[in-house]
C-alpha cells in the first residue's frame, strides 16, 4: 500500500519546484492566477482516473484538459504550457493518493503526460496558423501524451525512484529553456536598443538568465525586475506577431508600442533617481 503522506509531500514539493522554475523563467509571481484552472482540471481528471486509470485514458484526458486550458487561458509559450500541463498532472495525482496502491507510479504517469500535453498543445497554438495543421499537431500531442503515461511503468526502477526522477526532470527542463532562449531574447533586445527604446548597456543584464535577477545597475532592484519582465514580453510579442494575419499582427504591434513606452518611462525615472542619489552622495 502506498504511503499517502509521502505522496502528498512529493506532489506539494513538485508544485513548489514548478512555481520556482516558472518564476526563474518570467520573474513574475503571478503563476497562481494562471494555474487555478489547470489545477482544478487536474483534480477532476484524477477523479476520473480512479475508475479508468490506464495510460491511454490518462493521455487522452490530460490532452483534453490542456486544450481546455489553452482555450480559456492567456496566450503563452510552449514552456509555459508545459508548466501548466505538469501542474494539471500533479493535481490529477491527488485523488489517486487516497486509494491507489501504485500512487507514485500514477503521479509519474500523470505529470509526464500532462507536461507533454501542455507543451504540444501550446506549441500548436503559437507556431501553427492553419487550423487543420493545428488539429494534426493536437492529435500527435495526444499520442505523445499516451506514450508519456505509458513510459514510467516500463522503467526498471522502483516506483519512488521513478516518481522522484520525473519530478526533478521537468523543472530542470524549464530552467534549461530559459538558457536556450537567451540568444533569441538578446537578439530581440538588441533591435530594441538600436531603435533607442532601451540602452545598449541594458541588453545583456536584461537577457542573461542570471544577471537579470540582480539589480543590473539600477537604483531600484524591484524596478529592474519589472523592466526585465516587460522587455521579455516585448521580445515574446515580436516573435508571436511574425507570420500572423495582418489584423492580428497589428494588435500585437500596438501592444509592443505600449510596452516600449513603459520601458522608456521606467528608464527615465531610474536615471532621475540615480542622478538624485549621486548628487545627495
Per-residue pLDDT of 62-106, as tens digits, reads: 999 999 988 887 767 888 899 999 999 999 999 988 876 788 999
pLDDT given for residue 2 in this prediction: 61
Please list the alpha-helical segments (H only) found in the chain.
Answer: 4-26, 31-49, 55-72, 78-96, 103-127, 131-154, 159-194, 200-207, 221-241, 246-280
Distance of CA 215 to the CA centre of its chain: 24
pLDDT in tens, 107-126: 999 999 999 999 999 888 87
CA distance 244 to 89: 31
pLDDT given for residue 236 in this prediction: 82
The single residue listed with the C-alpha cell 525512484 is 161
Q: Report the predicted TM-score, pTM, of the whole model to 2 decimal places.
A: 0.86
CA separation, residue 173 to residues 92, 109, 167, 170, 270 (Å): 21, 17, 11, 5, 35
In this predicted structure, the answer to whether residue 172 has a pLDDT above a threshold of 90 is yes
Taking alpha carbons only, the member of 179, 213, 210, 206 closest to residue 190 is: 206
pLDDT in tens, 36-67: 999 999 999 999 998 887 899 999 999 999 99
pLDDT given for residue 46 in this prediction: 93
In this predicted structure, the answer to whether residue 239 has a pLDDT above a threshold of 90 is no
In a 10 Å sphere around its CB, with 0-12 CB exposed, 13-18 middle and 19+ buried, how is residue 280 labelled? exposed
Amino acid at each position: 500500500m502506498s504511503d499517502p503522506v509521502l505522496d502528498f509531500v512529493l506532489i506539494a514539493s513538485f508544485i513548489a519546484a514548478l512555481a520556482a522554475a516558472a518564476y526563474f523563467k518570467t520573474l513574475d509571481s503571478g503563476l497562481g492566477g494562471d494555474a487555478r484552472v489547470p489545477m482544478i482540471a487536474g483534480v477532476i481528471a484524477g477523479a476520473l482516473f480512479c475508475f479508468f486509470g490506464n495510460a491511454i485514458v490518462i493521455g487522452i484526458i490530460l490532452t483534453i484538459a490542456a486544450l481546455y486550458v489553452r482555450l480559456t487561458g492567456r496566450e503563452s509559450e510552449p514552456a509555459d504550457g508545459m508548466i501548466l500541463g505538469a501542474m494539471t498532472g500533479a493535481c490529477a495525482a491527488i485523488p489517486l493518493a487516497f486509494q491507489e496502491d501504485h500512487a507514485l507510479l500514477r503521479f509519474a504517469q500523470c505529470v509526464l503526460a500532462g507536461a507533454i500535453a501542455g507543451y504540444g498543445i501550446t506549441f500548436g497554438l503559437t507556431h501553427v496558423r492553419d487550423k487543420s495543421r493545428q488539429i494534426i499537431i493536437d492529435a500527435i500531442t495526444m499520442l505523445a501524451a499516451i506514450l508519456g503515461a505509458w513510459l514510467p511503468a516500463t522503467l526498471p526502477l522502483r516506483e519512488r525512484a521513478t516518481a522522484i526522477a520525473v519530478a526533478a526532470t521537468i523543472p530542470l527542463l524549464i530552467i534549461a529553456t530559459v538558457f536556450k532562449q537567451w540568444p533569441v531574447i538578446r537578439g530581440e533586445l538588441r533591435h530594441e536598443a538600436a531603435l533607442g527604446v532601451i540602452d545598449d548597456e541594458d541588453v545583456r543584464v536584461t537577457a542573461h538568465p542570471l544577471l537579470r535577477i540582480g539589480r543590473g545597475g539600477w537604483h531600484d532592484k524591484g524596478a529592474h525586475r519589472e523592466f526585465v519582465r516587460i522587455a521579455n514580453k516585448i521580445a515574446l510579442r515580436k516573435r508571436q506577431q511574425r507570420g500572423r494575419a495582418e489584423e492580428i499582427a497589428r494588435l500585437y504591434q500596438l501592444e509592443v508600442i505600449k510596452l516600449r513606452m513603459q520601458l522608456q518611462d521606467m528608464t527615465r525615472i531610474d536615471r532621475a533617481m540615480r542622478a538624485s542619489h549621486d548628487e545627495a552622495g
